[in-house]
Structure 1
């Protein structure tokens, strides 16, 4: 039997504008999403029964039963059972789409088209659309691939605090905020990317800090980067750097100052 492998990169919301709320309670978003060259790896082998085993530095606490997104997404993609092994490197419930990226990898490995995947998780369609930059709108189902960004490197930092996405959205007092500009420009170099991002927002940052005040400490640690913000609903934050060496130095400095935090540096991926 043939074993196949797929990379599930970290998802980063460079922006996250909450533009409304539907009658069913789902929030409407407008987000510029990129992916980093660090993530989980999923392998799949056709088998007599469905199964999932989890390895890697972030394996602890990851469920392996039928409620895991990998198995749920795989069953949506095919009726042929597979045995999966997930090498877990991304922290869970961290705002960087770890579970959704794993689910998207399962769909790819099983030959699915991802139709209906948004019902399993709002980030799964955008993870299927990577690894290049993507504009995500609606409740996650409106996906527009974008041109590649100029070379950029990212430092990801999670203080190992879990933040509840539903709780963060519930704490958001203003549900209808301006979207991003209608057209995201093509950026010739990294400098204009940074300047443009500084005019955008993550509307979930303030409510996330109410639940996890340490996020402000993470952003302070990332402040030497040209641009720093929170990804998704937190608690992971990111700093964008112009060079690989600058990202590596910043990651090293933060690790020394905060050895209990999860810290990683990686390039922003292109299509």
Structure 2
């Protein structure tokens, strides 16, 4: 028996870099939502000892007895540590009886693309550990492990609209996020997050992280698409100028998205190189994605519902 979950693509609708912290991280404030596109993660409840196997593209060491098969259009781009396996090992360390382990990954999202792909994969792995762990591993355990694995894993664990602060590990729910559509476009360029932050050259943080978040009311869009657009349009992605210096191709992607009929917010997601356009309805987004794919057949392009793809 296998358990499956989708590692949904994370979009930073806004991303404010408030300063460089003393620990080397950057203090962030970002409105995050999830698109209806993602990788597929599979878990097998019981793993018996056997040979170690990593399929194409997955370069991380695999613990004895764990078989991880990686496929999909972006399997070959994976390299280095696999956060799914780290999630499984962290779960076993926290709850020794917890035996399920990742057995499959269909890598449908581009790598180093500003979509939180690795974090989303790890978050899906944690959700599956809860589902397949027969009570040994709880949602509380998953929540405790998530921020240790990476800055984005905590918000990806929920995969619902949120305001994230700190280095990204502090997650506050956003209410009333409207049902709308989004087009994602990536020109096939990989951008390392560390390189983009390095090119940003942010100034040191001039206030304590706690002081920056004090008194901030929770966001509630009341289901209004116009309220969402007004909020996001008044803010920016502070990483976009640095990313565009490192990858000038992004200018063409953003310009192409801006020409699509009905596009209301066009921006780079995270550190890139995926850009997005937000539309009032998923139908508008799908129509726009089809037209864009005809003009730019070499780009990775998809359309989806923006917000919380885990619920209808």
TM-score, normalised with respect to structure 2: 0.80
Q: Give the structure 2 partner of residue 56 of structure 1.
A: 72
1:160-195 deviation per Cα after TM superposition (whole angstroms, max 9, x unaligned): 100111111011134459979933342442122112
Please point out which of 215, 221, 228 is paired with 1:186.
221
Structure 2 residue aligned with 1:159: 187
In the alignment, the residues of structure 2 paired with residue 7 and residue 151 of structure 1 have an alpha-carbon distance, to the nearest angstrom, of 19
- Relative to structure 2, which stretch is displaced further, 254-263 or 51-60? 51-60
CA distance in 2, matches of 1:256, 1:248: 13
Say whether the 8 Å CA contact 1:10–1:38 is kept in structure 2: yes
Q: CA RMSD in A?
A: 2.1
CA distance change for structure 1 residues 264 and 124 in 2, over 3 Å: closer, same or farther? same
Aligned position for 2:296: 258
Matched-pair contact (CA < 8 Å) for 1:133–1:148: no
* Aligned partner of residue 76 in structure 2, secondary structure: coil
Distance 1:265 1:249 in 2: 9
Which residue is equivalent to 2:16? 17
Return the structure number with greater helix share.
Answer: 2
Q: Deviations over 1:202-253 (max 9, x none)?
A: 0000000010011111111110311111100001011000122211121112
Aligned equivalents of 1:185 and 1:117: distance in 2? Answer: 25
Question: Distance between the aligned counterparts of 1:113 and 1:185, measured in 2?
Answer: 27
1:29-56, CA deviations, whole angstroms, 9 ceiling, x for partnerless residues? 1111101111011110021212211112
User: Are the counterparts in 2 of residues 50 and 81 from structure 1 also a CA contact under 8 Å?
Assistant: no
Q: Secondary structure at the match of 1:89?
A: coil
Residue aligning to 1:123? 152
Aligned partners of 1:83, 1:194: CA distance in 2, in Å?
A: 38
Query: Which is worse superposed, 106-115 or 260-269?
Result: 106-115
Measure, in 2, the Cα distance between the counterparts of 1:185 and 1:107: 28
2:123 to 104, 109, 114: 104
Contact 1:39 1:89 in 2 (8 A): yes
Gaps of 5+ in 2: 49-64, 131-140
Structure 1 residue runs without a partner (length 5+): none
How far residue 62 of structure 1 moved from its aligned partner, in angstroms, is 2.1
What SS does structure 2 have at the residue aligned with 1:60? helix
Give runs of aligned pairs for residues 32-111 of structure 1, distance below 5 A: 32-45=31-44, 46-48=46-48, 49-63=65-79, 67-78=81-92, 79=96, 80=99, 82-111=101-130
Aligned to 1:236: 274
Q: Secondary structure at the match of 2:307?
A: coil
**Corresponding position of 2:54:** none
Give the equivalent residue in structure 1 for 2:138.
none
**Counterparts of 1:216 and 1:144 in 2: how far apart (Å)?**
32
Query: Following TM superposition, by how much is the alpha carbon of 1:83 offset from its aligned partner in structure 2, in angstroms?
Result: 4.5
Q: Does 1:226 align with 2:264?
A: yes
Deviation digits for residues 16-74 of structure 1 (CA, Å, limit 9, x no counterpart): 011122212111111111011110111100212122111122222324x8x21110111
- In 2, the alpha carbon distance for the partners of 1:126 and 1:242 equals 24
Which is higher, the Rg of structure 1 or of structure 2?
2
Taking a change above 3 Å as real, the CA distance of residues 235 and 177 of structure 1, as seen in their structure-2 partners, is farther
* Number of residue pairs matched by the alignment: 267
| CA distance in structure 2 between the aligned counterparts of 1:51 and 1:71, rounded to whole angstroms | 10
Change (3 A) 1:17 1:83: closer
User: What residue number does 1:214 align with?
Assistant: 249
